[in-house]
Amino acid sequence: MNYLNNKYDVIVVGAGHAGCESALACARLGLKVLLATLNIENIALQPCNPAIGGPAKSTLVREIAALGGEMGEAADATYIQMKTLNSSKGPAVRALRAQSDKREYSDYMRQVIEKNENIYLRQACITELITKDGKVTGAVDEFGIEYSVNAAVLTTGTSLSGKIFVGLKSYSAGRLGEQAAIGLSDSLMSLGINLKKLKTGTPPRVDNRTIDYSKMDIQPGDDVLNFYSFRPNRPIRKQYPCYLTRTNEETHKIIRANLDKSPMFQGLIQGVGPRYCPSIEDKVVRFHENPSHHIFIEPEGLGTYEVYIQGFSSSLPADVQVKMLRTLPGLENAHVIKPAYAVEYDYVPAVQTTHSLMSKKIQGLFFAGQINGTSGYEEAAAQGLIAGINAFNYLNNSEMLELSRSSSYIGTLIDDLVTKDIQDPYRMLTSRSEYRLLLRQDNADARLTPLGHKIGLVDDEQFERFRKKQLDIECEVRRLYETKIPANEETKSILAKYGEGIERGMKLAELLKRPNINYSIIKELHPETNNLNISRDVYEQAEILIKYEGYLKRQEFQVEQASKLDKFKIPENIDYMAIEHISSETKEKLNKIRPKTLAQASRIGGVKPADISVLMVLLEKHKLKT
């Protein structure tokens, strides 16, 4: 292949979190990749909060790692704080969060990309896609340079026709200090792809030296660290704290007095903002009964005085932002380095793609990240990985990778996007999964590592470590079910300390099922356990499998029941408008989404159970059930 003539297998447009995962997946599978980005210095940038993970998002990151993606490795290599959220709650909602060194994270990912000989970096704005017979054949940049490719993955983030707002002033930009991607929207529309607008925002950054932390609550990291990746010898780095302060009535008074200067409240921004991450002015208006809101102060990195004011995103004028900030305890003398801003941008509603993230109209055209209507680095990276894998599959005429809702949060995320016609920036939440007890961050490797190895992104060394870990877990579960302790005075004395008793000899697993008993107490009751050198990863899994056995079996039964509708495949050429006994509204929705199975059809908003029954009868009547 002659790269002097700009010929590549695939072009990835955008080098954010989606673009990096997509390019790396394609390259590691053997494709020659052109990675085009507006600013080569901002690869894998964290333009909003400098952190990876959190509720539900941590599960996405561990799933990415299990499939052979890079985000977990980068987070483990560049954290300045590791903290497990909801640690006192059940395993389904526990969530790891890594506060990152923003610059170090970006540099790490850039080095990984530059070391891959199959990736060709290019600082360029792609303005046009070229197609022939409904297939991607090339791309053109702002200089008129044409690139020959057979597939394209668009991961444009907030840059696509981006427009930034600070107060009533606005200008063309994708992020503060970075140009917008102009031209590509017109090209997509000319190909018959529908675009809409969304809005997001980010808080101001403040000089660390102008903050009085003594007036805030310290938020330290964990003493015992957990990690995202599944490799050994992950770096143990010094932990740095975050801090908590709060808004007050004075803050709210300033906000209410300046709503006439807000582009959102004045109707200048048409795009819908993220429901689960509203601006501070939106919080004050919507939740007017709340006397205060939590504001977290987070370091952006070790090599900068810049700190991130989480929970304080705004599009109010810069001078008003300063007044607001200085009402917060500890920020009375705050110096703002960068003002908060809102950005409105074009996106492609993902109902126009299949579960592979390939366009239904243009073969070889994939979309991933915020262009699909999501928010969040983790959601973007997950989509980028799947889009990259499927770009490879497309070019090799292989079966597309389409993860199910019951297999992963990634599968849930993509199914929601392509099925539910999302109207505001989508954020992954534990509540979005009906199988969250099965889809935990701690068992992501058990669920997806074999698939990652089969695809070719998980190497043999990692796969052998995985197999050994699973064998160790099985052995430990069996040992706990087989090992019995007597109901002697020593046992009773230990249990009494934890408000428990015992009347007969019991298996360790029986005791572990009790709510007040954990593995550390098991080791106290059975000292021989300490001599077995069982790793924390192994005994934590064994404890979860035993303690929640009944709940896990119940959810597995739910998966089995739900899978029955998946067996009803809907023909691609079905004419929904000709079906009787379902409403015109339902026909339009089914025709728009074109679900592959009855299960997917049942998840479309507004499609009623009665409509599904009609479809089921129709499919059975014509013996289309597979």
Predicted confidence band of residue 172 (pLDDT cuts 50, 70, 90): very high
Residue 624 binned pLDDT confidence (cut-offs 50, 70, 90): very low
pLDDT at 212: 98
Question: Do the beta carbons of residue 228 and residue 79 sit within 8 Å?
Answer: no
- Residue type, position 221, single letter: G
Confirm if 454 and 407 have CB atoms less than 8 A apart.
no
pLDDT at 573: 85
* Span 255-285, pLDDT tens digits: 999 999 988 777 777 777 777 678 899 999 9
**205, 338 contact by CB (below 8 A):** yes
Distance CA 302, CA 241 (A): 12
Sheet order of strands, 51-53 included: 51-53, 95-100, 79-85
For residue 58 the two structure tokens come to: 């941590």
**Percent of the chain predicted with pLDDT > 90:** 79
Contact 385, 22 (CB under 8 A): yes
What is the C-alpha separation between 180 and 159, in angstroms, rounded?
A: 5
What pLDDT is recorded for position 88? 86
1 pLDDT exceeds 60? no
What's the confidence (pLDDT) of residue 3? 53
- pLDDT digit string (tens) for 486-541? 999 999 999 999 999 999 999 999 999 999 999 999 999 999 988 888 999 999 99
- pLDDT tens digits, 595-620: 888 888 888 888 888 888 888 888 87
Q: Could you read off the pLDDT of 196-225 as tens digits, one per residue? A: 999 998 999 999 999 999 999 999 999 999
Amino acid making up residue 235: P
Predicted pLDDT of residue 581: 82
CA angle 595, 597, 603 (to 5 degrees): 65
Among 182, 145, 179, smallest CA distance to 161 is for 182
Other CB atoms within a 10 A radius of the CB of residue 476 amount to 22
Banded model confidence at residue 593, pLDDT cuts 50, 70, 90: confident
Distance of alpha carbon 369 from alpha carbon 384, whole angstroms: 7
Domains of the chain with CATH codes: 3-165+345-455 (3.50.50.60), 205-342 (2.40.30.260), 460-550 (1.10.10.1800), 567-621 (1.10.150.570)
- Taking residues 549-557, report their average pLDDT: 93
pLDDT at 8 over 80: yes
What's the whole-number mean pLDDT along residues 65-78?
A: 98
Q: What is the SS3 assignment for 17? A: helix
CA distance 518 to 612: 45
Per-residue pLDDT reduced to its tens digit, 221-234: 999 999 999 988 88
Q: What is the mean pLDDT of residues 161-174?
A: 91
Q: What is the mean pLDDT of residues 463-473?
A: 97
Express each pLDDT in 43-53 by its tens digit. Answer: 999 999 999 99
Residue 625 has pLDDT above 50, yes or no: no
The closest of 346, 348, 359 to 594, measured between CA atoms, is 359
CB 384 within 8 Å of CB 201? no
* pLDDT exceeds 60 at position 390: yes
pLDDT tens by residue, 85-142: 998 888 999 999 999 999 999 999 999 999 999 999 999 999 999 999 999 999 999 9
| 8 within 8 A of 148, measured Cβ to Cβ | yes
Residues 56-75 have a mean pLDDT of 98
